[in-house]
Amino acid sequence: MEIVRLHLGRIDALNKIPVHGFVIKHPRAGAILVDTGVGWPTELVKEWKVVNRHAAEALEEHDLSPADVHIVINTHLHFDHCGQNAVFKHAPFYIQRTELDRARGENDITNQWFDFAGARFELLDGDAEVADGVRVVATPGHTSGHQSVVIDTPDGGALMIGDAAYTADIYRERDKADLTTCAANTRTAWRGPSLSTCFMACTRTPSISVTTQPS
């Protein structure tokens, strides 16, 4: 399975961190998209100073179109991970049940970007297989219903951790990582079950690469 990174924009208010999505080119299930970036209009999140990009344009760079995406997995429902879900309204959205409940409960103005008429949610209660060799593992912490995506193949695989850690350094160093700039609840979550779950998920795959949001 090939995995391609989509460059969907950046958030200038957060040190210009990039916003990414990832396409898993599955041989049987078709294209599986992990996270959809920030939605439109960006005036809804103007305090974040978003430089946005249409997902269709990012897909075109890889000879894909929104119609080629058969499944969408949202690691969580913050605005920079589910903002363009409506572009893929033909596809089911795989989300942890607790995450949908959390997001709806917060009643944010950007909820319209994922909770639109006709959205088809495949609600998960913990770890689950989405397609052959593609599974999600529950990694609560950044949000109560956060999930990460694991790709298993006989020769190795990949882990898309979403916001279970902001950088690869935080993932690798875990207990020793410098988290002084992170919120207290985030530091606790990352040093608790969230990253530990990612590490355990990797033990099933002989050789695995870790993909975080910032490049």
Assess whether pLDDT exceeds 50 at residue 184.
Answer: no
Q: Which amino acid is at 11?
A: I
pLDDT value, residue 212: 55
Give mean pLDDT, residues 88-106.
Answer: 97
Q: Is the peptide bond before 206 cis (omega within 30 degrees of 0)?
A: no
CB contact at 8 A, 85 and 74: yes
Which residues 6+ apart lie within 8 Å of 110 measured at CB?
Answer: 39, 44, 45, 79, 83
pLDDT value, residue 215: 38
Q: Which amino acid is at 74?
A: N
Which residues 6+ apart lie within 8 Å of 92 measured at CB?
Answer: 71, 72, 120, 121, 122
Which comes out higher in pLDDT, residue 199 or 46? 46
- Per residue in 55-87, pLDDT (tens digit) is 999 999 999 999 999 999 999 999 999 999 999
Give mean pLDDT, residues 194-200.
Answer: 65
Q: Which of 126-130, 165-169, 179-183 has the highest mean pLDDT?
A: 126-130
Query: DSSP assignment of 133-160, as one string?
Result: TEEEEE--SSSTT-EEEEEEETTEEEEE
Homologous superfamily of the 2-211 domain (CATH): Ribonuclease Z/Hydroxyacylglutathione hydrolase-like (3.60.15.10)
Q: Where are the domains of the chain?
A: 2-211
Give mean pLDDT, residues 5-25.
Answer: 95
Backbone angles phi, psi at 88, to 5 degrees: -115, 40
The average confidence (pLDDT) of the chain is: 86
Chain mean position to CA 121: 15
CB contact at 8 A, 113 and 166: no
pLDDT value, residue 199: 61
CB contact at 8 A, 155 and 207: yes
Assess whether pLDDT exceeds 70 at residue 194.
Answer: no
Give mean pLDDT, residues 142-171.
Answer: 81
> What is the pTM for the complete model shown?
0.86
Separation between Cα atoms, residue 76 and residue 81, nearest integer Å = 7
pLDDT value, residue 190: 53
Quickly count: other Cβ atoms within 10 Å of residue 127's Cβ.
15
pLDDT value, residue 187: 52
- Per residue in 160-180, pLDDT (tens digit) is 988 877 655 665 555 554 555
Chain mean position to CA 188: 20
Q: Which of 121-130, 150-159, 182-191 has the highest mean pLDDT?
A: 121-130
Cα atoms found within 13 Å of the Cα of residue 133, Cβ hemisphere only: 19
pLDDT category at 142 given cuts 50, 70, 90 is confident
